[in-house]
A and B are shown apart, each in its own frame.
Chain A
Amino acid sequence: MVYQWDAFDPSSPNYQKARPWVAAANGPETFFETSIGTSNSVMIDGASDKGYFKLGYTLNTDKGYLPNSNVDKNIINFGAGFDVTDKLKFFSSVNYTATDGKGRYGTGYESRNQMTSFRQWWQMNVDIQEQREAYERTRQNVTWNWADPTDLVPIYWDNVYWTRFENFQTDSRNRYFGYAGLSYDLAPWLNILGRVSLDQYDEIQEERFAVGSIDPSQYQRYNRNYRELNYDLMATIPQRNLTDAIKFDALIGTNIRKTDVSSIRASTNGGLVVPRLYALSNTLNTLSPPTETYNRLQVNGYFAKVGFVYNNWAVLDLTMRRDQASSLPKENNSYYYPSASLGLILSEFMSDNGFISFAKARVNYAEVGNTAPPLSIADVYNLGTAFDDATIASLATTKNNSNLKPERTTSLEAGLELRFARDRFGVDVTVYKQNTKDQILPATVSRATGYNSVFINAGDVENKGVEVQFFARPVVTRDFNWRIGVNWGLNRNKVLDLGGIDNLQLGTAQGGFSVNAALGEPYGTIRGTNFTYLNGQKVVNAAGYYQNSPTSNEIIGNVNPDWIGGITNSLTFKNITLGFLVDVKKGGDVFSLDLYYGLATGLYEETAGLNDLGNEVRASLADGGGLILPGVKADGTPNDIRYDATNFGIYGYRRNPAAGFVYDAGFVKLREVNLTWDIPSRILGDGRIFKGIALGVYGRNLWIIHKNLPHSDPEEGYGAGNFQGHQGGAYPTARTIGFNLNLKF
């Protein structure tokens, strides 16, 4: 019998009572609620011989699977056009979206991400529903993790319901997207089009730490304004016959893109004075200056395209574009990039009754130029919060680069599409090679340079691979149809040149783990400490645990999968369609921070059970507990040292290299199943209001058929952007069941 957390909560029925030390009836899995989403929309439209309009409204609501989380969206779409004359046409569109979010899920390694608690530091005796009741009873932070019997405050973790209902975030965003333009037929063979489009949003994100949390109480607000304006002017020659055999079309135009992004972030300093009041003025100490950013980018583009079609079996398109970007040094700020594509419909030369019903070969080459992020050329200083009378400034930790040149992606692709037996089955094979050259990025460098990172043009990263799509329609009858689709892709990448550096570090985490792109290696190799091996066996040291490699730059994994694939099946019987999708990822590695810590704290089943003697592994060595790790001693003889497992060490991060927490991230998943019924009009009857009704039910993420990463979905992770192959505080993947009702008036 043990005094557990509730023995110290005066409002609890278990106050001052000891209880059995057993696993909780309601574990963290009962923390998750059923998430409910709805989407309702109406649309009206109309047209006459002079114009058209459409007006739509959509309301989406989404209640998340964590308590106190929801996202609501109101969307209004409006579009209208009017033919001023036969030749001059006006068109426009306005879309407005208002999004309100609350309680979005915390990510990363922090107190508001409950998953880091549940997966790494949780106590298995804690009943999550009793935590909920404690919070609801008191509205106080009655944690399972008291600091001390004499000091009843949380020490490392808050009550998770306190976190959700007190330390929640909110956000709201108003987005306007629209365009207006004129189109004029200067001649039957020449159209001029001018268009201005605007994408603008303002958003606010607010974060809270209530008084009484483990983190100092705080209110933080972040306001951001985004505006992108596009001006387009283009002249088009619609497809026309040059000769009987050759058709031709062309386009020339200009595009000006202007992007302005500004933000301001401010937070209270030192705590809140009045509990539950979230305003900047409610600050314990004088506010520190807010952080402001203001980024502007303009790209002036000119482009042209010509297309030729020869006898309906050869199609050739050629394009060229020149961009000039404000974010590059003046002498390097304009760049050209062409593309060419050729398609040959080979089946034109085959007999109509042959086995091959369609054959097309294609090859294309494209370059895409890109500019630098704004403000990456000239160095600046950052001003900080004053120290009494002293102004504080520091040099920016990223070294900018006044010699940047544009980056460029070149891709060469060839494909063959074949359909057989009157399109009963077919295959589409593509091979490609893509090189990203002079990629502009802040490369992490030795801090002995005085910088975290320096902006560089990073050489050449090559991706090449094969994609295969296959389909078959094994059954085609009037009432029953069956379609199978298979796709399969294989990609290999390699770092060929890094513009003067030898390793691009993509991300790092605890324990010396890092993801890298080093010269001659794949983009995304995992490095860290490794086991040491003798004749293929892991070596244990004199104490009986695994001997770690002395350095943390051993290659211990590769985030890139061997291949990915998917199978879709669609079965249609009369008006009813059943579809399902199975997704497969073969290989690719992930480092699990959850297991790194969670195996150490002992919350996973792998850390309990019986040892080779049939005793509780967690019993003391004297009582026959402990563990002999598989491996050999330094002299090559089998390990016979029994290591004590009464405390943490043998399983988790402390005594094991990072390599011990690298897992195969491959999976086989039943990704989606859907069933749709188009209600036939004869059932709707003659006096019907609706032109059509469709009823659907679907399920997503229904079943992980196979995986090698224990306890979590290998696709989860807080790796963002380039930093893949790293999972910590992983959320469970939600299984979604949905219903669709479409009414057509």
Chain B
Amino acid sequence: MTAAIAGIGATEFSKDSGRSELALAAHAGLAAITDAGLRPSDVDGMVTFTMDANAETALARELGVPELTFFGRVPYGGGAACAVVAHAAMAVATGAASTVLCYRAFNERSGRRFGQVHTPDGVDNGWHYPMGLVTPAASVAMFARRYQHEYDVTSEDFGRVAVLDRRAAATNPNAWFHGRPITLADHQASRWIVEPLRLLDCCQETDGAVALVVTTVDRARDLPRHPVVIAAAAQGSAADQFTMHSYYRDDLTGLPELGLVGRALWAGSGIGPEDLSALVLYDHFTPFVLVQLEELGFCARGEARHLLADGTLELDGRLPLNPHGGQLGEAYVHGMNGITEAVRQLRGTAANQIRDAEHVLVTAGTGVPTSGLVLSR
């Protein structure tokens, strides 16, 4: 790849930002541009999520970005996280733009909460919402129940993801749950949201924004920060794909769209699972973290629970997972804070720094058409 992440920025992560979503986007955008050692007038491209409420034009006006020669959006909720970087990388590789600002900003806790009941558009949703399957947690719980059934996986196996995330968040000052680790017993005592998911299987809700700047590797080398190279970026949508409800495939225990992303990442980067220094796996709900480990080839089907139980994925383990605390522990910014964590790890500036981090894998929202990145120092 010929593109790099040159700058990152974020707002504080809170439960009530007290500001508009546009104000959050502007704050994070300016922070990322400044971090890259650039000025707003250097930006000529923007990419965000289809779900983002802030128009590229509005953000450009606030930041004083004069001209945009490239702008685009990526659909499917959190599945867009790594894809916005992929689109930005393609734009700078083709010359459609030289410097692209990727952003995601929302008041997801104090404003529109994804976990509440909404009446969605779209014919596909008509097969699920009217029947009482009305929240993302419920959609994932349906997969999780079948996964438990086929592989003898327990609620405690899911809980170990939450415990791991919260342990890392406890020592990350930027995390909402800084200083507040949990035990497996806490997880087991937390109330049911949608069985088999408990409250502590579900990620938190956050007000906040994250932005990052993508440019060519050559240009990034002239900037003050050590560039983080986009070794590979990929999107994936698999056979008989639905958004959150791919219930009509033969197998309900995998995430084939993520398997597709994984294969593209290994092929595109020449880097394999064994070369990675750390993993940042999308963790809106714990069960899909297990399935991702399996889809990406870190273990066989149904075996991820052992990786979680044997310490491999801990901060001091062989392959640390979510060293920032993930979305369960740090913040839920639709996966974008996972990308900035990978950048910090590769710069050597993370709160829970992995020694000599060289390659970090990042994934985006699961259960939806998704995306992933391999970032390298």
Partners in one complex: no
